[in-house]
Amino acid sequence: MIRLDDRLRCALDMLRGSAAVADIGSDHGKLTVALLLEGGCRRVIPGDISPDCLQKTREIIEQCGLQDKAETRLGSGLSILSPGECDAAAILGMGGELMVELLEDSKAVAEAMDKLVLQPMSGIEELRQWLYENNWHVMVDRLIPVGCRWYQLLSVKKEDRPDPRPEGFPSGCWLVGYRSFADRELGLKPYCREQLEKRRERLMKAAGTAGEEKLAREAGQLEQILKEMEGWN
């Protein structure tokens, strides 16, 4: 069994059972080998834009003796695949804006998949808004604490109509997922409390600055979500 932190384990669980998976930005290769050893996947295509990072993936594949099931490819994003080659892809540990670029660049490949598992390190709001505006439905949305930081993991699928948003979720809010709100995701309450606290602290120093309005809007959205959650068991 390969040692995974809770972030990678959550991604593995979201991808469990997919027959052929692309691991985009595979780097250390832990997810690639875990998908084959524990995830029930028959084939994995790990890709990375960096030759050095892809070499790390090759090494762990060889250590695990999985060369016949994992085919490494050098290149950017989903451009290493043809449509229908994989049922699912993981794109973890990159910026949300870069993820949008990669999905825009390889629409046919992305849209042919049953699911994409995304874990943005930054630009989460930009990614969430783009997904919503382009009819990507959020099937599962998790908030995972690892050490002193939270990670947001989304499993999404392209549809031909907008994703219905739950009642009570603030309109125009992309800080957290409406699916995690609808599903009463365990991490949502502590995450929102922490984020609200941070915004209140920043607001005290931001009076009269350009960032004040955005901080105030976000604090209001977080307050609304926390208020809605008060009635939850």
Ligand X SMILES: C[S@@+](CC[C@H](N)C(=O)[O-])C[C@H]1O[C@@H](n2cnc3c(N)ncnc32)[C@H](O)[C@@H]1O
In this complex, which beta carbon is closest to ligand X, that of residue 120 or of residue 170?
120
- The distance of closest approach from Cβ of residue 47 to ligand X in the complex, given in angstroms and rounded to an integer, is 6
Query: Could you tell me the end-to-end alpha-carbon distance of the chain, in angstroms, rounded to an integer?
Result: 36
- The distance of closest approach from Cβ of residue 206 to ligand X in the complex, given in angstroms and rounded to an integer, is 30
In this complex, which beta carbon is closest to ligand X, that of residue 46 or of residue 170?
46
Q: Distance between CA 100 and CA 87 in Å, rounded?
A: 19
List the 136-146 sheet strands across, edge first. Answer: 73-74, 43-48, 20-24, 88-94, 115-120, 149-158, 136-146
In this complex, which beta carbon is closest to ligand X, that of residue 100 or of residue 192?
100
- The distance of closest approach from Cβ of residue 78 to ligand X in the complex, given in angstroms and rounded to an integer, is 9
Triad 123, 126, 130: Cα angle to 5°: 140
In this complex, which beta carbon is closest to ligand X, that of residue 98 or of residue 215?
98
Number of residues assigned to the chain: 233
Q: Which two tokens stand for residue 163?
A: 């994703």
- The distance of closest approach from Cβ of residue 201 to ligand X in the complex, given in angstroms and rounded to an integer, is 28
- Rg from Cα positions in the chain: 19
Residues of the shown chain interacting with ligand X in the complex, contacts defined by CB under 6 A: 24-25, 27, 47-50, 53, 76-77, 92-94, 102
In this complex, which beta carbon is closest to ligand X, that of residue 50 or of residue 209?
50
CB burial of residue 51 (10 Å; 0-12, 13-18, 19+): exposed
Q: Which two tokens stand for residue 217?
A: 């809007």
- The distance of closest approach from Cβ of residue 42 to ligand X in the complex, given in angstroms and rounded to an integer, is 21
